[in-house]
A and B are shown apart, each in its own frame.
Chain A
Amino acid sequence: MVSTAQAVGRGSVVRPKVGRDDWIMRAYMLVIVLYLLVALAFPLYVMLSKSFETYAFRFDTVEFQVDRGEGWGETLNAMALGEGLGIVDPGTLVTTSDGRFPATSFFPDFSFRAKTLYRIRNTKEGSGGFLVKGRPATGTDWFELTSGEFRRVQIRPSQATGTGNYLSYFSTPALFTSIYNSLMIAVISTIVTVTLAFLYAYALTRSCMRFKGAFKMIAMVPILVPSLLAGIGLIYLFGKQSLVLKVAEWAFGEKTVAPWWDMLANGTYGPSEVYGPVGIVVASVFFTFPHALIIIITALSIADARLYEAAIALRAPKPRIFRTVTIPGARYGLISAAFVVFNLVITDFGVPKVIGGQFNVLAVDIYKQVIGQQNFQMGAVVSVVLLIPALIAFTVDRIVQKKQVALLSARAVPYEPKPSRRFDRTMFAYCCFVAFFILGVLAVCQYAALIKFWPYNLSLSLGNYNFDVMDGGGWDSYANSIQMAFYTAIVGTFMVFTGAYMVEKGKGFNSGRTGFQFLAMMPMAIPGMVLGLAYIFFFNHPNNPLNFVYGTMGILVICTVTHFYTVSHLTAVTALKQMDPEFEAVSQSLKQPFTKIFARVTVPVCLPAILDISIYLFVNAMTTVSAVVFLYSPDTTLASVAVLNMDDAGDIAPAAAMGMMIFYTNAGVRLLHAGLTRGLHRRTQAWRTT
């Protein structure tokens, strides 16, 4: 019998016909790819090239003539003069855009009282030139100057391309020690956070203690506030005018407490170190705790009860079960949590800015270089340096996440904890301690915001809410923040969800979809500071046709949507993956355009996920500082940046007040979201079995 295949012969590969829908979907996908290129890839490229933009003195393009009363002498090249005098070596030539080199250094016999006349000119147009009377001169004409005027001539650097900035970065100890500092802070915070979060998650998933719901909710609170607020809270709790101290003095009397406090304050682990690495670590643990907790809870709740039963049947002692069953089961979750926390801490700018004192870290270095010294090139170099650990952490996290999926078996039996009084009580006590600390930090911020003048006038007052007379943009900034968060949530959710739909449900065009996935994952690896700085370079360039968005609300929304794109995208993809592709197939066979099934089926089914995305974007837009600190304009000041600026100016109490306003707003929106989701679940999600 001849098989059909042989009979027909080898035809060409059958390709599904690309219909109108597919073209629309591809075109739309391209639009979003274009967006991600413009909002992410191009700015980063511009920033990278900025980091190679160097400034150096080009003495060979400057010439002098001197008249010592006997007419003009021969023409002297500055380079030749400098080499003759031994004042020119590679170290003195490399500088920054605001470097200046006094022309008088080339004439050791210079005296501004002498009757000598000087001439100076450039040999070439377009070099850095020099300053005459404070104004730049770049032409090739001679300038004739008296010695009094010549005293004020400064040679300016020329721009070039090279690795000079990197060389000077790695030869300045004040700069490169930040790498070590940042890594150390991130590693320590990661270990502490993951340990604490693991215990907390363990209590929530493996004990039978009471109030689990409340504990879970309290643990999520730090997500709702800007990371800076943790730093501010710690200053009030443990700073020089510590609230803890005041309470202790009130309770036990000043005499009893003083020696104890002195010992602590002047000791190694005392409160004097709140401004420094200890403070940074504690505040970092505070704000990264919920992020780690979410991941670890997920990892712990997928445990397979059959493994525990087997272990108990084999009479394995408890510690051994913990070591050989619990930990391996959660190991990917733990690794993933570790890298997420590491990434959050190393890229965070708020905490070290508020509480770091003179302990330099990379994220603050970028700010100091750009804002303090206007050295954009060095800011770009530090950004590139900061990108490296963030990229590594991100890559490892991605690899681990992929493995996690394979662990889940369809036959797994969910683990049910059994009550044990001692264990449950210990866990309860631990959770109380953590919850108390989290709420304590917030409570102290709120209390401080209502005090007239801590610590000298403790009467209550709303004076700290008079934001309009302080730095940071006043109440307008609060309104702006809400507006910005709202736009971000709307625009971002629409873009993210539709984009994810095209990628997930589109057919063919695999290379394009892989490219899209890659671009969509990128933002997570890019620290907010780096993104913000890259935006200045890219969007503020006069030749950029998109220049008009610079300084508007638009650029803040674009930056925030891009910064938080990845997590939103993953949420959307997960929700879409749960939907059977048959839906699309059926709709197609009924000759319906994809827009119809998208609007009638996909969106309603995925509504909880869509709400999750929008709330995630809203909350983060309210609290983000690092991404927008370089981008806001006077019309678009933001509440989170106002917290930073008020703290920077020393107005800590108003900063705490504004931080708490952000908290209440986010908490309110969150509650609204919870209510909406519950209602929705009842109405649209009845088909779900779980």
Chain B
Amino acid sequence: MRQGLFSQVLKGAVVAAAGLAFVTGGALAKTELTVYTAVEAEDLKRYAEAFNEDYPDIEIKWVRDSTGIVTAKLLAEKNNPQADVVWGLAATSLLLMKGEGMLEPYAPKGLDKLDPKFRDKDNPPSWTGMDAWVASVCVNTVEANKNNLPTPASWKDLTKPIYKGHVAMPNPNSSGTGFLDVSSWLQIFGEKGGWEFMDALHENISHYTHSGSKPCKQAAAGEVPIGVSFAFRGAKSKAAGAPLEIVVPKEGIGWDMEATAIVAGTDKLEAAKKLVDWSITVKANKLYNEGYAVVAIPGIAKPVKYFPEGITEAMIDNDFEFAANNRKAILAEWQKRYDGKSEPKK
């Protein structure tokens, strides 16, 4: 009953506040930006609030979905773009869009402060980076003990017969994280070595998932002892109380970055530029740092709780153009090798 009364009062207050905002803000005529994003749902509100502290006259209308869906949506809308800005989408996806001529090149203020890894190589750049999400291996210590599995230290360890049927990883054909893993293995071990490694790993895989966070969440829930996923997810599950250990394989780890770009043809270019300017400020980077250990401006990142150590050093020198240009061929080869064997292993 008290709860009900309280929420009613709250609702009244919100309505009143909204009315007030309408009266005072109506004259200023807010610009509404449609922003496509793949940032985690729980972070969006914080991002918009922080941005509005500096630019109260620009309202963000979020369009959020997983990386694959946002990319598919953007490409499907190629001839009739609905988005003004993309804020928080994988750089590999943005490269794909750049290749379709869908991005407006723009050099935001403060571009020179960014780590050169975190920007498009061209001048002016078509996109700028925000933070990196890095591959990691989530190991459920309880289930590992039950099955007498040692904690793996490297990617190669995962191909040992002892892990047979105990590893889950995302399917690169439907998951951006999965593709990131595959493209990083091809870069670490070389083309031939990479496929040999995956052949061996495939023998141990219990199942491939559609999404990149699922293997880690499944490891957290004990559905599988080991999940190839990304560190951010692992840290979150660990914070939720899962008996997880997040392993950074010693050969190095693949990564992709969340990045920002203006969609070519937007009729709100000025507001879009302001947003992109803001997206690479120190303030924004500190915001990214709350969830991600590696951000675009070097030297400001603080360690994130539950994140494994040595992540920045382990990140490979990722060639995004290689990944984007060979994406089609890599996925086709992967599908030919592993997806055809669709029967579950006995």
Contact = CB atoms under 8 A, between A and B. Distances in A.
Contacts of A372: 68, 171, 173-175, 210
Given A372-B210, A540-B80, A268 B344 contact: no
Contacts of B41: 468-472, 474
A1 B236 CA distance: 102
Given A177-B340, A471-B66, A374 B71 contact: yes
Contacts of B122: 133-135
A655 to B, nearest CB: 11
A672 B334 CA distance: 52
Interface in A449-463: 452-457
Interface stretch (B25-33, B211-219, B308-316): B211-219
Given A134-B99, A368-B174, A376-B76, A174 B335 contact: yes
Interface stretch (B47-55, B294-302, B324-332): B324-332
Nearest to A175: B335
A241 B328 contact: no
A95 B327 CA distance: 12
A677 B316 CA distance: 67
Given A172-B335, A469-B41, A551-B82, A273 B344 contact: yes
Given A471-B41, A547-B80, A135 B344 contact: no
B286 interface: no
Contacts of B208: 357-358
A634 B62 contact: yes
Contacts of A273: 344
B211 A648 contact: yes
Contact of B241 (A172, A275, A368, A456): A456
Interface stretch (B190-198, B220-228, B252-260): B220-228
A121 interface: no
A140 interface: no
A240 B222 contact: yes
Interface in B54-107: 61-66, 68-69, 71-72, 75-77, 79-80, 82, 95-96, 98-101
B336 A649 contact: no
B344 A174 contact: no
Interface string A351-372: 0010001111000000110111
A506 interface: no
B61 to A, nearest CB: 8
Nearest to B122: A133
Given A134-B122, A650-B217, A456 B142 contact: yes
B34 to A, nearest CB: 9
Interface residues of B, number: 71
Contacts of A350: none
Given A456-B241, A542-B79, A370 B72 contact: yes
Given A100-B328, A174-B336, A275 B66 contact: no
B290 interface: no
Contacts of A99: 328
Given A98-B96, A174-B339, A372-B68, A135 B101 contact: yes
Contacts of B77: 540
A376 B76 CA distance: 8
Nearest to A136: B101
A181 to B, nearest CB: 7
Contacts of A470: 41-42
Contacts, number: 173
Given A240-B224, A650-B213, A469 B42 contact: yes
A536 B76 contact: yes
Given A455-B221, A470-B42, A357 B207 contact: yes
A652 B95 contact: no
Interface string B7-25: 0000000000000000000
A106 to B, nearest CB: 15
Interface in A166-198: 172-174, 177-178, 181
A359 B344 contact: yes
Contacts of B341: 358
A633 B82 CA distance: 11
A626 interface: no
B152 interface: no
Contacts of A353: 210
Interface string A128-144: 00010111100000000
Nearest to B331: A373
B321 interface: yes
A542 B80 contact: yes
A6 B337 CA distance: 84
Given A131-B99, A134-B120, A134-B122, A174 B224 contact: no
Nearest to A353: B210
Of listed B142, B171, B328, B342, residue having the most chain A CB within 10 A: B342
B126 interface: yes
B249 interface: no
A97 B96 CA distance: 10
Interface string A627-650: 000000110000000000100111
Contact of A649 (B61, B217, B326): B217
Contacts of A455: 221-222
B222 A241 contact: yes
Contacts of B121: 133
B287 interface: no
Contacts of B64: 634
A667 to B, nearest CB: 24
A608 interface: no
A651 interface: yes
Contacts of A96: 328
Interface in B149-172: 165, 171
B100 A357 contact: no
A35 to B, nearest CB: 24
A627 B118 CA distance: 39
B344 A360 contact: no
Contacts of A239: 223
B342 A174 contact: yes
B339 A360 contact: yes
A648 B321 contact: no
A120 to B, nearest CB: 16
A134 B95 contact: yes
Contacts of A469: 41-42
Interface string A224-238: 000000000001000
Nearest to B71: A374
Contacts of A651: 217
6 contacts: A174-B342, A177-B340, A373-B174, A373-B331, A453-B242, A468-B41
10 A-B pairs closest in CB distance: A650-B217, A372-B174, A542-B80, A276-B344, A174-B339, A650-B214, A469-B42, A174-B340, A357-B207, A173-B340
Given A173-B340, A240-B223, A649-B217, 15 more contacts: A95-B328, A174-B336, A174-B340, A174-B342, A181-B342, A241-B221, A275-B344, A371-B69, A373-B174, A373-B331, A374-B72, A452-B241, A453-B221, A634-B65, A650-B213
